[in-house]
Each structure stands twice: as C-alpha cells, then as structure tokens.
Structure 1
Amino acid sequence: MRSPSQAAAPRAAAPRSPFADLPLLAVAVVWGSSFLAVKHLASATTVVPMLVLRFGVVLPLLGGFAWRGLRGLGAAQWRGGAVLGGILGGIFLLESYGVVHTSATNAGLIISLTMILTPLAESVVTRTAIPRAFVGAAALSLLGVGLLTEGSGLRAPSLGDLLVLGAAVLRTVHVLAMSRSRALRGVDSLALTWVQLAAATMVFVLASPFGGPAPWRVAAGWGPGQWTLLLYLALFCTLFAFFVQMWAVRATSPSRVSLLLGTEPLWAAVFGMALGGDRLSVLALCGGVLVLLGTEAGRRAVLPSQAAAAPAAEADLPEPEPASL
C-alpha cells in the first residue's frame, strides 16, 4: 500500500469524477439485496448446504488471484487468518439463519448496529472515552431496534432478530480482532481474505452433518432460479464487493468508504419492502428510520476523531474484507 504522502498527492491534483463513488454505492446495493436473496434461496434446513456451495464457488476463483500472496504467508499469518475465518463463519451462520427467521428489512437494519457496537467495544478495550454525541446516537439506534422488532403490538424480538443481533456482535469481535492482530499487519489482503473464507468454509463443512441435507443433494434439487441466486451471492456479493473495497480503500479515504457502504441497511429495507413483500407498521417504520439516523449520527460522531489516525493506520492494517451476506 502506498505511503500517506504518496497517496495524498494524486488525490489533491486530480478532480474527483462524479462517477467515482458509483462502484462503492453498487456494493452497498448488492449487500442490501443479499438479505432478500438468502431468504429466497435458503430455508432453516438448507442454510449450511447453501453456504458450503456458495463458498465452494468463491474459493477457487479468488484463489487464482491470491495464489502469489498465499505463497508468502508465514505460519503465524495462516493461524491468524484461520481464527478470523472461524469468526467469519459464525457471522455468516448467524446472519443466514437470522434472515430465514425474520424479514430481510429487519435483518438489514439490525445488522447496521455493528457501526454502533464497534466503537463502543473499542472504547472499552482501549479504555478511551467516546463523544457524548455518539452515546446519544447509540441510544437512538437501540430505541429504533426496539420499535422495529415489534409486530402487531409490542413484543420481544423474534428468534431471527436475536440471531442477526448476535451476528452484529460477532462482526464487532471480527473487526476488533483484525485491527489488533500484529501478525496480520501488512499482510496481502487477497491472501488474507482467501484464508479467512477457506476457514469459514471449513466451519460450514464441519457443521453440514448437523445442518440439514448434504450440499450435493441440495445442489441436485435446485433449478435455474436457485442457481442464479447462488451465483449472484458468490460473484457479486462476495467477489465483486471485495475487489471494489480493495480498490476504494486505495483510491479514497476510509471515512468515505464507511459512509457509502453504510447505506447497506437502507437498500436492504428498499428491497425487502419492494420485492420481498415486507410490511412495517407505523411504529416499526419509525424504528427503522431511527436506526438509520442513529447509525449515521454515530458514524459522523466518531469519524472526525478517526480522521487524524487514519493515515498512519492505513499503512499498517489490511483492507476490510466482506463480512456481509
């Protein structure tokens, strides 16, 4: 990765194209649509087979690009990537089972709480204070989730809502583990992502005897529609999303990447209501709006404090990899 001084000069010299943000926005759109795609593709008994098949498509394709970097990894880097991959596997399992048991709209909005949970957890780990504005934003988001998960009347969150909330917590653990792992600093991002996805696939393979029919039996029963959804999840929501992130983190600022990808829950709600038949009561709709407002306000509250440290950290840490559905 280029040094901060090398990266800053071209950005200042060249005018920014109005279309430069479109690839990142496209990632947010496909990630938002992925919740509905998983809901249509998987059932409670086929989540694990679906994940095995999806990652079985991704790994050889990504491996062709990552091969050179994989040859340069040391034992500590393989171990660190495998641990992160195990966490990533848990995220995908919780998200996928959660989507099956709740609406795509709820899932997309609840998972956005990662943007609130991560700074909170980081402040605890590093023993640093967080802005009061962020505390208020977090409270607003939590109130929104409470309203969002009500049905015809106020009730406890559904099993699916709780599973997606667990995925948001695990996403936070994943982000903190990656940022604090010294063994993974400066590691080739393609190679690290491949190791993580391979370890996640092993989690799915080990879970497959307990997670429903064998993957090949599920694959044999799929028609063109199911295979189209699987390829969409593999090629667009994983491979395309990763390569765009890798390009974007070099071409623009991490803060801008975060802001654009933060529109994912909005697109999840759009697809869920427009194509998935999700219907929200007035209270639930207000809750969804509060979640979006709270996560956006929280991001803006912490981004200014991150901006000063971003150039130094950017040179050391690997680029973010896709952990969304």
Structure 2
Amino acid sequence: MARLRDNRTRILVTGGAGFIGSHLIDRLLKRGNEVLCVDNLFTGSKRNIDHLTTHPRFEFMRHDVTSPLYVEVDEIYNLACPASPVHYQHDPVQTTKTSVYGAINILGLAKRLKCKVFQASTSEVYGDPAIHPQPETYWGNVNPIGPRSCYNEAKRCAETLFFDYHRQHGLEIKVARIFNTFGPRMHPADGRVVSNFIVQALRGDPITIFGDGSQTRSFCYVDDVVDGLIRLMDTGPDVIGPFNIGNPQEFSITGLAGMITRMIGSESKIAYRDLPQDDPRRRQPDISLARSLIEWEPTVSLETGLHKTIDYFRDRLLDVAPRMR
C-alpha cells in the first residue's frame, strides 16, 4: 500500500473479510483511516467487503498470514484465524499454524515497522472454566490434546508470543479475549449457536441443541465488540491487556432457542444431540478491567442485536438455504 501524502493513519486488518473483521474495517474507514484488508478467504467472504470495493481508502489483498507479509502501515489488527468449531476443526493443523505462524509473521512486521499491534484472542483460552465468571487472571482449564485444542492452545501460544515480543523487543501490543459475538455477516454454516438457531427457525427446521441446553453463554453484539477493540487500540503504551471483551449477561442455550423462535414466530421444535467433547458448560466474562481501564462495556441488548441479526439472515435465506442442505 502506497503511503499517503497526509498524516492519515494506515491500518492493516488481517482476517478483514471475516465477520468481526469486516465490521471493524467499516468503523475504521468511518474514522477517516486508510485500511488494507488481508484475508485468504478460507472462512472470510468477499460478500462481507463488497460494499467497500470502490472506497478510495480501502484495499484488499488475498494472502495467508502463515507466510510473511511485506507492507507499510502504521497499526495492525490481527484477526486472522477461523473462529467457529466447524471451521477450525476442519483442518486443525492449519488452524494452529494460522494462529502461531501468523502471530510470528505479524509480530515480525510490527517490529520492523515499530508500530502497535493488536491480537484478537478468545475466551477459548479459558477452556471449560472452573472459575465463574472468568477474570483475565484466570489461567484456564484447557485440554491440550482434545479436538478443540488446535484453536484453544494456538491462541494461548499466540498470546505468549505477543507478550514475549513486548518484553523482549519493547513492542507495543494490545490483546483482547473476545467472547461469543453475534450480528450481521455471520457465516450461515459456521455452526455457532446464534446463526444455527436463526437459520433453523427461519426455515422451520428443528432447533439443534447439543447437551441438555442448560449450558450458558454470554452473547455480545458485534458493534459493541468492535467498539471495545478500537477503544483498546486507542490507549497508550502502558495499557496492554489481556482484556475480556464480551457481554457479562449470561443466557442458557435453551433460553436463547426460546427467545429466537418467539421473535421469528417459528414453530420449530427442539432436537437434542450429544454434547461435543470439551464443550464448556459455562462461559461469562468478568469485564471489570475493560470498564475501568478502557471505559468500555456493551450497550446493545441481546434482543436488539437478535432483531438485527434475524433481519440479516431473513434477507439471505433464499440464497443460503440451498447450500445449507
């Protein structure tokens, strides 16, 4: 990306064609930045960034972060990695490479450019937590050899690399542990509970619940998450993280299914399936640090966010339904 003649900030977003990444790019462009979106389109989609193709401050580069990247930017957001179990378990070795090699390559780039760099970590670093809610000081309860470990452990390793680059090279880093996020542009076949329930309810198919449905999650609308990431990135060099970014309100999976079917007016019935191995029973962030140090907390209610997400999937249903069969 060629440097501009003015002082506009040039920002690299890896994984920028993904669900959260594309919303982040929208917000960065509205702030007047120039954005280079890098994505290999394994789980990201051109559909998510089609509206930006003619934007004068947007550029797309198809690239896999497991290979070095040579660009000139002022800030980096690293969001590159498949984030849903369906996708990250499809090629677990590549998932680990994306998080670990990707972190090494992005950190090397940031070191050369002497720029601040953000790492999108995950609540999955806590595994199936024995402490509830989960504070950033909790080290987690993670199975290192299970089917989810390609994602959990790779993200934990990426955090290690970020903090070691900070300690060893003085690199300015920012790390956020993102909890369950939902909203428009979710992949309709990503296997996540919100997208699954909405698509199934809209089609009148059975609502698939794994386990007995008593397990809980905390759902944060994507606009709130993006706000948290930007607030963190805007802080000074002494504010590093990790920070939990998520909604501290806890909902059962059964309760979520009931809410979605009522909002849609669906007559879908519940179909129970066996709980996958290592699936966490409870997940809820303690966001005390985010509230105090970056003055962030979510403002969009679950119901408001679901209305927007349902509208999105309703508009897409005719297109996605044949591919969901």
So what's the TM-score if we normalise by structure 2?
Answer: 0.28
TM-score, normalising length: structure 1: 0.28
Point out which structure has higher relative CO (alpha carbons under 8 A, 6+ apart): 1
Where is the strand percentage greater, Structure 1 or Structure 2? 2
Greater share of helix residues, 1 or 2? 1
